[in-house]
Structure 1
Amino acid sequence: MDLLALFTTLRRHKMLVLVVLLLTAAADAYIAFGIPPQYESKAQYVLINPPSPPTDSQIARDPKLADVNTNNPFLRLPNPSVVVDVVAQRVSGDNVRRELIAQGADEDYLVASTNAIGSGTVIDITGTGTSAAQASRTLELVSERIKAELYAMQKVDGADDEYLIQALLINPPTDPLRKVTSTIRSLIGVTAAGAVLLFALLSITEALRVRRVAPVSPASPRAPAPARPHPAHSTENDLTMLLPKRTDEEIARARGQRRRS
C-alpha cells in the first residue's frame, strides 16, 4: 500500500480513526497525569569483617580473652557475598516488607548486591515512593532494617558484638529523583498499541468493504438444447431417412397404377 492509498483509506474511515485516536490520547493522558509519580533514592553499604579471633599466644598473655565468644557462623562462610544475599532476601521477604509498609515505607523498595565495589560485598538499597519525602523515608527504614537483620542473624550463637560483621555506609543517600523513563516507556507502549489497533481495524473494515461491493460474475450462457422431434413425426421422419429416394418417373408410375386399380 503506497502513501496515497493509505491517506485515502484513512479519509474513507475518518470516524474510526477519530475514535481510536481519542482512546489513545485518553490512555496517554491517564498515564501522564492520572498515575502518581515515582521517586527514587539510593544508598550503598559495604560489609566489614570483624577482627580475627584471639590466638593462643594472645590468650596466654591475657586470660580474659578465653571468655570471648567468637562463634559467628557467618564468619565460616567461604564467600562473604553470601552474607549480602542472605540479608537482601530477609529484608525483601513478605513478612519484613509488610512491617516496613506499616511503618510508612513504599512497597516497591529494592535491596540487592552489587559488584560495583568489591566482590559482591556491597548492598545496594533503592528507596521508592510517590513523593520525594516518602522515597527518603523508605530508604531510611530499609537501611535501619538491614542493620537490624544483619545483627540478629549473627547473634544466633551469642557471638560478642566485636566479632560481628558490620555494615558501613560508603555512598550516602542520594536526593530523590522522579522516574521519568518508566512513564515515557508506558506512553510509547500505549501509543504503539493504539497504532496497531487502528491499522488492524482498518484492514478488517477494508476487507469487509471489498467483499460487500465485489461484482458478481455473470453465468456463462448455455448452448440451446437441440429441438426434440415431435413424437408423431419421429417414426415417419426416421423411415424417410432410411428409405431410398424415388425419382419423378417412379412416383408418376406409382400414381397411375393406384388410379387403374
Structure 2
Amino acid sequence: MKKLTAVGVAALAATLALAGCSSTAPESPASNASSVAAGAEAPDGLVDSSTVTFCIDPEYPPLEYYENGTDGEIIGFDADAARAIAAYWGKEATFEVTTFEGLQPGIQAARCDIIPGGLYMSESRLEVLDGVQYMQTGPALIVRADDDTDYTKNSDLCGLTISGQSGSENSTVAEQIASECGSGTSVDQYPKTADTVVAVVNGSADALIETDVAAADIVARSNGQLRLVSGFFPPSTQFGMFLAKDSPVTEPLREALKALYDDGTLAKIAETYNLEASNLVVD
C-alpha cells in the first residue's frame, strides 16, 4: 500500500482546503445574480423579512466554498443559486455559516429559511423537512490511483475501510455496504470532506464514497493520487434545497427555481462551475 509522506499529506490537505483557488476564477457571485430581475414578492414567513437567510457549510466545492479557500466570498453553484433566488424575490441573500451536521438543526431552530443544496432528497430527510429538487446526482466511489482493483459491485468493497463525512447520506450508503459485507468491513467518519479524502490518500482508509459532482473535483485536485471508479454507482437521486416542514416558503421556492431554470439562470451558474446543465431537474 503506497502512502504519502507527512509533507505530502499536508500538501494535499492544503490543496483541498484551497479548492476554491484555480487558474481560472469563476465569475463573481454578483455577476450571476445581478442579471436576475425581481419576479415575485418575497414570501411570508422569512426568519428576517429584510433578507433571505441560507444555512450553508462552505466546504463543498463546486457547490459551496470560500473564494479564497478558508475565507472571503462564499461561491459555488448553490451559493450563487441562493443569491439568484433572493434577487428573484427582490432581496439579498444572507449566509448563516455552519457545519454540515448543523444544517438541519439550523433550519429547525429557525436560524435560516433555506438550506441551498448539497443534500440528497432522501426519504428520511423528507420525513422531517420540506425539499425542492434541483439537480440529478448520486454517490461515487474514489480510491487511490495505485489501487488497480476492478471495482464493479458492493461486494468488491468487503474487507475494506471506507471513509465518509459524518451525518451524510454517503456515509449511510457506506454503512449499508459494510452491513451487507459483515465483519471485516468498516466505515470511518470524519467531520469534513477534506479529512475523508486525506484518510484515503494516507492509507487510513481504502475507499471514499462521495457525491458525484464533488468526487470529480476531488480527484482533479489530488495531484494524481486518487482515481474515480466510473459507473460504480448509477445516478440515483436528486439534490434538493430544504426548508422547515410545512414552511410557507416551500412553494414560493419551487416557483422561483422553476423561473430561474426556465430563463437560463441556473444553466449559466452551472456552466460557471463546470457542471452539466443537463443534470438540472426542477419540477
Asked whether the two chains share a fold, i.e. TM above 0.5, the reply is no
| Greater fraction strand | 2
TM-score, normalised on structure 1?
A: 0.22
TM-score, normalised on structure 2?
A: 0.20
